[in-house]
Homo-oligomer: A and B are copies of this chain.
Amino acid sequence: MPPTDKIESAEAMPEVSGNTSEECVAAVDIGGTSLRIALADMTGSVLAERSASTVGVREAAAVIETIREGILGLLEQSGRSRGHLRAVAAGAPGITDVDAGVVVATSYLMGWRRVPLRDLLEKGLGVRAAVENDVNLGAIGEQWRGAARNVRDFVFLAIGTGVGAGIVLDGEIFRGTGWMAGEIGYMLVPGTSTDPVADGDAGNLENLIGGEGIRAQWQRLWDAGGIVLPRDLRATEVFDQARAGSLSADSVLQRSARMLGFAIYNMWLMFNCPLFVLGGSVGMHPALLEAAQTYLRELCGEAGPDLATSSLGTQAQLTGAVRLAIDRANAD
Contact = CB atoms under 8 A, between A and B. Distances in A.
A69 B303 CA distance: 38
Contacts of A266: 187-188, 266
A11 interface: no
Contact of A299 (B180, B196, B267): B196
A272 B173 CA distance: 13
**Size bracket of the A interface:** 35 or more
A224 interface: no
A190 B191 contact: yes
B196 A269 contact: no
Contact of A301 (B196, B301, B303): B196
Contacts of A194: 190, 262
B177 A269 contact: no
A260 to B, nearest CB: 12
A323 to B, nearest CB: 22
A313 interface: no
A244 interface: no
Contact of A181 (B177, B181, B265, B270): B270
A54 B272 CA distance: 30
Contact of A196 (B177, B182, B271, B298): B298
Identical copies in the complex: 2
Contacts of A269: 180, 182-184, 186-187
Interface-centre pick from A178, A269, A298, A299 (highest chain B CB count, 10 A): A269
A153 B177 contact: yes
Interface of A is mostly: loop
Contact of A270 (B167, B191, B262, B299): B167
A108 interface: no
A273 B175 CA distance: 10
Interface in A165-179: 165, 167, 169, 174-179
21 contacts: A153-B176, A167-B270, A169-B174, A174-B271, A176-B271, A176-B273, A178-B303, A181-B270, A184-B270, A186-B265, A186-B269, A187-B266, A188-B189, A188-B265, A189-B189, A189-B190, A190-B190, A190-B191, A190-B192, A194-B262, A267-B270
